[in-house]
Chains A and B, each alone.
Chain A
């Protein structure tokens, strides 16, 4: 019995090494690990990566956490990719600090690790980061809102609809960018809610969905019903906030701005629900990431960050049909062409 087991184990091991060796010889393989496979943003990311991988003849395996924040599954995915002999990993981390040791393990195994969308903590834990400049995304809508209000900006009453109480970096960057763009002094730029400006009515959290957006807006309206500027973390939250405003008949005299550039969101800009939104490009992040892995597999060249930044900036555009002086923007029509989800 013991002999049989040992024999089987040996045979399996030989088979496994053989298979692994074969896959090494066959093609470059890459992994894409996202937070979830249900969020349209990550769906689009996967589409972009798959298309590029096919074009370059790279074998792509996709993994995703079960829910946002599912760190455990992501670690398992990295381990699977190491065992699989992948050349590169594209990773959108759920837990930006805790994932670092697993990422280090992969890099030690000679795998190129690129963080997509969400920088790791610290950012240089990955070989490169391909992401939207979230601070800039916030700054664009902040500048737009201030210019739109003109002199009234000095008396604005602003509601801040943020992501979550844990203050994830993406949410903080957008929030602080907006405030800076609007001309409000930041307290600690790494955290929201410590600003002293009288114009801010308050912050509330939305979890980035419609339900949370509506509730947060109602809470802040109860605090001050004369709110006239609403910053939202993303477009579903903005849609929820709009419903709250509509229920008290104020939907037409409040300026809502947002970030993301998903197709329903851009459509909401067209319909006047949202004044302006900053659009990001998940498809580009993923396809650039696959290109970088291909280059790494071929010549061992690592991707370089955008000049003056510690990550590769995949760009952001302000989408609005009401452009203002001094803030570059694209039309809704153009935004619709480039939208995702």
Chain B
């Protein structure tokens, strides 16, 4: 009996030969896995590297024509609208959704701001608030249909895109409100077009707003409970719900935020083009998705950093201006942006393997 007991208690003796270190992930040796791991933990790094590289390459090719404060801040001005819309798009895509109605919401909001001021004589600040409320409402409808009626985001926003765009044309009668009239009667509508000149650099309030918006969203997403919930819902809605997150509320809030940001983009649009034009911004949905994808946010949700979208939009801007300054046919820009999109997703898939 004592023999069996001692034998029974002997089972730990074999452990003496085992390693005593704590369980850990297997680290693959070598530079490539290290880089891949670094990129994996900071998802905005890839677009940032591409952005810096493309600025350097165009800077070498074009010299001071491109590498001047004037040209570099011009890129910020040119991407401000797409950039702001891409911020909205990023939020939605992080929840594993997609918002095809962003451009339409932007244009309708700007038309509401303009028409309320000029058709009904409402003071500009009130009209602007109405425009912002209009964008938020459109976002709420999107979010409600996605969260409560459980329709796929692609379908909901595909429908809303058409509904909002048609409303925009019907309501505005496709009438442009001229820049001169806005300047004389409601300059507040052009607020985001105000320029700050610092030497050769020229920044508009719209471009600054875009940068602040991205910083604000990066803070919200990384430092607040709401932000973590957005990621959690995007990664796996059901397990998020099981861990006590009110997923539907989070979804609706995301689409509302997207609508509101698009309305701000509409306001910035008036500043940029001077006039209120119902035909503007029709490609904003595709351009914003492009920026988000190049920026490394996963279309499958829950992965990526919002700053990446800013870099994505800037990369497109750098390519567009750089190639035009080189005198290349505009088709080359489209071609290269197409290559970038596919390249970005390929790199994303490769980085993903760092955790596999």
Q: Is the CB of A222 within 8 A of B321?
A: yes
Q: Are A247 and B65 in contact (CB under 8 A)?
A: no
Is B279 at the interface (CB under 8 A from chain A)? yes
Q: Which residue of A lies closest to B280 (CB)?
A: A211
Q: Are A165 and B324 in contact (CB under 8 A)?
A: no
B174 with A202: CB separation less than 8 A = no
Q: How far is the CA of A259 from the CA of B280 in the complex (A)?
A: 19
CA distance A229 to B321 in the complex (A): 21
Give the Cβ gap from B314 to chain A, nearest Cβ, in Å: 15
Bound: A312/B176 CA distance, A: 31
Question: Which residues on B sit within 8 Å (CB–CB) of A267?
Answer: 178
Within 8 A of A (CB), among B270-291: 272-275, 277-282
A223 and B323 alpha carbons, distance in the complex (Å): 11
Task: Judge whether A219 and B272 touch: CB under 8 Å.
Answer: no
- Taken together as a complex, chains A and B put the C-alpha atoms of A140 and B204 apart, in Å, by 37
A219-B321, A267-B178 known; A247-B202 Cβ under 8 A: yes
Give chain A residues whose Cβ lies under 8 Å from the Cβ of B325: 219, 222-223
Q: Residue-by-residue, is B192-204 near A (CB-CB < 8 Å gives 1, otherwise 0)? A: 0101000000101
Number of interface residues of B (CB under 8 A): 39
Are the C-beta atoms of B280 and A223 separated by less than 8 Å?
A: no
Let me know if B71 and A222 touch, CB within 8 A: yes
B297 at the interface (CB under 8 A from A): no
Q: Contacts A38-B174, A193-B329, A218-B74; is A210 near B169 (CB within 8 Å)? A: no
Docked CA distance A327–B321 (Å): 37
Question: Can you name the residue of chain A whose Cβ is closest to the Cβ of B278?
Answer: A38
B174 touches A165 (CB 8 A): no
Scoring A residues 232 to 246 as 1 if CB is less than 8 Å from chain B, else 0, what string do you get? 000010011011001
Give A268 to B330 CA distance when docked, in angstroms.
29
Asked whether any CB of chain B lies closer than 8 Å to the CB of A214, the reply is yes
Contact of A215 among B78, B204, B279 (CB under 8 A): B78
Question: Which chain A positions have C-beta within 8 A of B70?
Answer: 222
Indicate if the CB atoms of A264 and B176 lie closer than 8 Å: yes
User: From A268, which residue of chain B is reached at the shortest CB distance?
Assistant: B178
Pairs across A and B, CB under 8 Å, 24 listed: A38-B174, A38-B279, A67-B282, A204-B324, A209-B277, A210-B274, A211-B273, A214-B272, A218-B78, A219-B321, A219-B324, A219-B325, A220-B324, A222-B70, A223-B65, A223-B324, A236-B279, A240-B273, A243-B179, A243-B193, A247-B204, A248-B202, A264-B176, A268-B178
7 cross-chain pairs, A with B, having the tightest CB-CB distances, nearest first: A210-B273, A243-B274, A219-B324, A38-B169, A211-B280, A38-B174, A165-B330
Interface residues of B (CB under 8 A from A): 65-66, 70-71, 74, 77-78, 81, 169, 174-176, 178-180, 193, 195, 202, 204, 269, 272-275, 277-282, 320-321, 324-325, 327, 329-331, 334
